Amino acid sequence: MTVKLKSRVASALSGACALLLCPAPPAHAQTPTVDVTIATDVSGPAIDRNIFGQFAEHLGAGIYGGIWVGKDSPIANVRGIRSDVVTALRALKVPNVRWPGGCYADEYHWRDGIGPADKRRVRVNSNWGGVPESNAFGTEEFMDFINQIGADAYVSVNVGSGSPEEAAAWMEYMTASADTTLARERAANGHPAPYRVALLGLGNENWGCGGAMSADHYVEEMKRFAHYAHNFNPAQHDQGAMKRIAVGWDSGKSDYTEAVMKAWSDKVYSWDIDGVSLHNYTVGGWPPHLAATGFGIDQYDDVIGETLNMDNLITRQSAVMDKYDPARKVFLAVDEWGAWLAPTPGSNPGFLAQQNSLRDAILAAVNLNIFVRHADRVKVANIAQMINVLQAMILTDGPRMVLTPTYHVYRMYVPFQGATVVPVAFDRGQIVHGKLTLPRIDAIAARDQAGHLWLSLVNIDPEQGTSVHLGQARAASGEVLTAARVDTVNTFTEQSAVAPHAISAKAGPHGLVLDLPPHSVAVVQVEM
The residues that are catalytic are 205, 336
3-state helix, strand, coil in the chain (%, to 5): 25, 30, 45
Q: Contact at 8 Å (CB) between 403 and 495?
A: yes
| Closest to 104 measured CA to CA, from 210, 212, 213 | 210
Q: What is the DSSP letter of 55?
A: E
Q: Contact at 8 Å (CB) between 467 and 515?
A: yes
Neighbours of 336 (CB within 10 A): 25
Distance of CA 376 to the CA centre of its chain: 18
Direct distance between the N- and C-terminal alpha carbons of the chain, in angstroms, rounded to an integer: 10
Q: Which sign does the torsion angle of CA 183, 184, 190, 193 carry?
A: positive
Distance of alpha carbon 383 from alpha carbon 407, whole angstroms:
11
177-196 per-residue burial string, b: 16 or more CB within 10 A, e: under 16: eeeeebbeebeeeebeebbb
Q: Contact at 8 Å (CB) between 360 and 404?
A: yes
SS3 142: helix
CA-based angle 491:493:495, to the nearest 5?
Answer: 55
Distance of alpha carbon 242 from alpha carbon 198, whole angstroms:
5
Cβ burial of 525 (10 Å; 0-12, 13-18, 19+) is middle
Neighbours of 48 (CB within 10 A): 19
CA-based angle 91:191:88, to the nearest 5?
Answer: 10
Q: Which residues pair with 98 in a beta bridge?
A: 55, 154
Strand locations in 112-206, DSSP E? 123-125, 131-133, 152-157, 197-202
Cβ burial of 327 (10 Å; 0-12, 13-18, 19+) is exposed
Query: Which region, left, alpha or beta, applies to residue 351 given φ > 0 means left and ψ of -120 to 50 means alpha?
Result: alpha
Distance of alpha carbon 170 from alpha carbon 130, whole angstroms:
26
| Closest to 47 measured CA to CA, from 95, 90, 88, 4 | 95
SS3 291: coil
